[in-house]
Amino acid sequence: MLDLVLVIVAGLAGAVVARMLNQPLILGYILAGVLVGPHTGGTTVDIANVEKLADIGVALLLFSLGLEFSKKDIRSISGLAVYGTLIQVGLTVTCGYFIGQYVGWGLHSSLWFGLAIASSSTAVIMKTLVSRGNMNTLSGKLMMGMSIVQDVTLIPLMILLLQFGKEGEFSWASAAMPIGMAVAFVAVMHIFGAMVAPLLLRWIARWNSRELFSLCIVAIGLGVGGISYWMGLSFAFGAFVAGLVLSDSDYGHSALSELVPVRDIFGLLFFVSIGMLLDVRFLYDHLGMVLFLFAAATFSRGLILSAMSWLFGYRRVIPIAMFFGMLAISEIAFVLIRMGLEEGVISGEVYSLILNTVVVSMVVGPIASGLTTPVYDFIKRHSRLDGKVRNMSLPEDSLSKHIIVVGDNGASRDIGIVLNRLSLPYVIIESNHKVYRQLKHLNLNVIYGDPASETILTGAGISRCRVLLLMMKDEQTRDSIIRHVRHIPSVQIIVQAETIEEMVHLRDKDEVDVIHPDFEAAFEVARQTLLHLGVPAEEIHGYLYRARNELYEAPAGRHKGGRAEDLTRLLNQAQQRLTSAWVQIPQDANLIGKTLSEAQVRTLYGITITGVMRGEEFTPNPPADFRLQEKDFVAVMGHPEQCQKWIQDMKPKKQSETNDGKATE
């Protein structure tokens, strides 16, 4: 227990220092592990105990990675991510073999070294990209995709090398069995992820208990990892496959959201344990050899990665990002060399040399990734590059310039139905599983999860949306969402307020529009009452517009008053002099059968027809040859008096005289 407390406190201290130095948190974790490790002589932490917890951290990291990186992301960059990576792994293993032979190692040790350096650290790449805000860039997607395929490729190669390194004659039949088990495991997991896991998660989610749902997610990830380990495969590999098959399910975003806090804690243990494995005395005694292995391994693999990206058409900054961003050797190397040591394939000295090489690469990797931009700028200045970056972008997500709806008590359902009928892009975030199932039954675009979670908001495409509707009563959740979103300038936030005090508080926030449901209900009651009393619709519209403007207007002092604000004020004043209304063409009206050009509505009355509803068909901005018919609903805009005069002139003469007589009486 004391070891665990010390590791967490040291990790926190290292992370704080790393953040103060504007470095990735993972670097602080590793250095903290070096300082509190037993090799420094400062503590008596038992590495074996920490490593057991760190194994869980690796599994959860790869499980969350599988959840976050869906198959469609790989598909869009499959050329480089799949075929380029397979070529790169083969070339890197070959280079590693010759490096091992150069330093005097035997056949098996050289092959295991080549296999250990073939893959880049997915965890380091992910942590570094997130900390630098580059996760959604093209280079970030390519690095993540290649590192995933690298890890998957190493599993069958490791099984082959294990069979090759055992005493006796090598047998393809004995090697094919574990590879066949791995293929069978992936196939079974695909069925499990498509059929069994969603049913289990749906059954758990119906209680709306975040605690139960979180436990279920962790149990699936670690449970599948345990099955993989029992089958003779990697524990982390099983967890990764579990995440990958769940990523495209309805519960993928919510599962990732619930897993992130647990993953980060165990991930801290993993990276601190890596630092603790670094034997400073051994490193000092073999510093030249470790630095040579590190430089030879990372430089050769970096050149191969850069060459692959160049050959597959990714130019400009991408090859440089590949070289520096994928420098850290994969955490799977620890699993490989530990297994090689246990099987007697590599010696203890070779194990220690490779271990220190991997740890050094993980320490240097986050720092090296920051060299991408300055190196690219230097190359641009001293080469014939024209400096015009031709971005090679991934295909646009289907959710772009859309509306995100978060609501209570059926509000999101009603808004979603309207947006669906108008064919406007939208997505609903729903935390209540029962309501979520109802919305799915209505074929509405909805994702399940906590709307205050940054992971859920990212899955809903918050950075690409135009409007965020928050029709909810939970103030804490609503304020948390606003804090996440306010820094995104393209998002307009519309919030529902329950009280006057709450409305004033929300209205003070820049770029936040407020709606009060009680006032809106009162306005609708007033509108219907005035209509029954015979008040013209145009007058009612003008009154309600002015009332809303007075209610929702910004408090004094909110704007400093500039050219843009003056223009907005003038436009609002102009809008108050206009009215818009729907008018049905009555029987025997003089407009029936006439085109808009023949009716001369704009010439005679100065008003504009903006749309016509005929039955269930709506015609926006009808052309001049559009012919009006009886019972058409016509949308008009203009000055209230002009609209009223046009309505009176449109009525049949007999009906008009009757109405005038009633008015006189």
The domain that holds 95 is classified in CATH as: 1.20.1530.20
Q: Please tell me which of 93-97, 205-209, 588-592, 619-623 the model is most confident about, judged by mean pLDDT.
A: 93-97
Is 258 among the domain residues? yes
158 and 247 housed in the same domain? yes
H-only helix segments in 472-533: 475-485, 500-507, 517-532
pLDDT score of 135 more than 70: no
pLDDT the model gives residue 87: 93
pLDDT the model gives residue 190: 79
Structurally, how many domains does the chain consist of?
3
Is 559 among the domain residues? no
Is 532 among the domain residues? no
pLDDT the model gives residue 75: 67
67 and 162 housed in the same domain? yes
Task: Between 179 and 211, name the one with better pLDDT.
Answer: 211
pLDDT score of 405 more than 70: yes
Distance CA 33, CA 278 (A): 8
Is 575 among the domain residues? no
316 and 176 housed in the same domain? yes
pLDDT the model gives residue 660: 45
C-alpha angle 117/120/123, rounded to 5°? 135
Residue in 393, 503, 478 with CA at minimum distance from that of residue 76: 393
Laid out side by side, the sheet with 608-614 consists of 579-584, 633-638, 608-614, 617-620
pLDDT the model gives residue 532: 76
pLDDT the model gives residue 510: 54
Give whole-number Cα distances, 568 to 451, 508, 511, 565, 573, in Å: 33, 18, 14, 5, 9
pLDDT the model gives residue 290: 93
How high does pLDDT run on average in the chain? Answer: 78
Is 570 among the domain residues? no
The number of angstroms, rounded, from the C-alpha of 195 to the middle of its chain's C-alpha atoms is 24
pLDDT the model gives residue 171: 58
pLDDT score of 346 more than 70: yes
pLDDT the model gives residue 100: 94
371 and 412 housed in the same domain? no
Mean pLDDT computed over 492-516? 76
pLDDT score of 292 more than 90: yes
Residues 6+ apart with CB under 8 A from 406: 412, 428, 429, 451, 468, 469, 470, 471, 472, 481
Q: Please tell me which of 117-121, 374-378, 518-522 the model is most confident about, judged by mean pLDDT.
A: 117-121
Give whole-number Cα distances, 356 to 38, 41, 634, in Å: 15, 18, 78
pLDDT score of 318 more than 80: yes
Task: Between 321 and 385, name the one with better pLDDT.
Answer: 321
Is 352 among the domain residues? yes
Distance CA 358, CA 372 (A): 21
pLDDT tens track for 419-440: 888 888 899 998 877 788 888 8
Domain end, chosen from 483, 515, 547, is at 515
pLDDT score of 389 more than 50: no
347 and 417 housed in the same domain? no
Is 549 among the domain residues? no
Task: Between 653 and 140, name the one with better pLDDT.
Answer: 140
Give whole-number Cα distances, 537 to 124, 529, 540, in Å: 64, 11, 5
Distance CA 147, CA 355 (A): 19
In 409-555, which ranges are E strands?
426-430, 446-448, 467-471, 492-496, 512-515
361 and 435 housed in the same domain? no
430 and 373 housed in the same domain? no
Give whole-number Cα distances, 292 to 111, 354, 480, in Å: 17, 11, 49
237 and 120 housed in the same domain? yes
265 and 352 housed in the same domain? yes
Burial code (b: 16+ CB inside 10 Å, e: under 16) for 597-615 equals eebebeeebebebebbbee
| Residue 478 domain boundaries | 403-515
Is 391 among the domain residues? no
pLDDT score of 402 more than 80: yes
Whichever domain contains 617, its CATH number is: 3.30.70.1450
633 and 511 housed in the same domain? no
Mean pLDDT computed over 137-159? 80
pLDDT tens track for 194-228: 788 888 888 988 888 888 888 888 888 888 888 88
332 and 228 housed in the same domain? yes
Whichever domain contains 495, its CATH number is: 3.40.50.720
Mean pLDDT computed over 511-521? 78
Percent of the chain with pLDDT over 90: 10
Mean pLDDT computed over 406-416? 80
pLDDT the model gives residue 448: 83
38 and 157 housed in the same domain? yes
Distance CA 33, CA 13 (A): 11
